[in-house]
Amino acid sequence: MSAVTKEIGGASNGGKRVIPASKASKWYQAEDIPALKKARKTARPAVLRASLKPGAVLIILAGRFRGKRVVLLKALEDGTLLVTGPFKVNGVPLRRVNAAYVIATSTVVNIDSVDVSTFTAAYFAREKKSKKEGEAEFFGDDEKKQKKAISEIRITDQKTVDTALLAEIKKVPALKAYLASSFSLKKGDKPHLMKF
Amino acid sequence: MAGTHRLYVKGKHLAHQRGKRNTNPGVSLIQIEGVSSPKDAQFYFGKRVAYVYRAKKEIKGSKIRVIWGKITRSHGNSGVVRAKFRSNLPPKTFGASVRIMLYPSNI
Residue among A61, A181, A192 whose CB faces B7 most closely:
A61
Q: What pLDDT shows up at residue A151?
A: 86
Indicate the pTM of the whole model.
0.81
Average pLDDT over residues A141-159: 76
Q: What pLDDT shows up at residue A22?
A: 86
Q: What pLDDT shows up at residue A10?
A: 81
Residue pair A142/A101 in contact (Cβ under 8 Å)? The answer is no
Residues in B closer than 8 angstroms to A100, CB to CB, are 103-105
Average pLDDT over residues A28-55: 88
* Reported confidence tier of residue B2, pLDDT bands at 50, 70, 90: low
Contact flag B105-A181 (C-beta cutoff 8 Å): no
| Helices and strands per DSSP (H, E), number in chain A | 5, 7
**Could you give the ipTM of this predicted complex?**
0.90
Residues in B closer than 8 angstroms to A181, CB to CB, are 2
Residue of A nearest to B34 (CA): A190
pLDDT digits (tens, 9 = 90+) for B52-87: 999 999 999 999 999 999 999 999 999 999 999 999
Contact flag A186-B4 (C-beta cutoff 8 Å): yes
From the number of C-beta atoms within 10 Å of its C-beta (0-12, 13-18, 19+), residue B104 rates as middle
Q: Which of A67, A48, A74, A69 is nearest to A58 (CA)?
A: A69
* Reported confidence tier of residue A13, pLDDT bands at 50, 70, 90: confident
Q: What pLDDT shows up at residue A106?
A: 94
Average pLDDT over residues B33-61: 96
pLDDT digits (tens, 9 = 90+) for B3-29: 889 999 999 999 999 999 999 999 999
pLDDT digits (tens, 9 = 90+) for A51-98: 999 999 999 999 999 999 999 999 998 889 999 989 999 999 999 999
Tell me the average pLDDT of chain A.
Answer: 87
Kindly tell me if the per-residue pLDDT of A137 is higher than 60: no
Residue of B nearest to A105 (CA): B107
Buried b (16+ CB within 10 A) or exposed e, A106-115: ebebebeebe
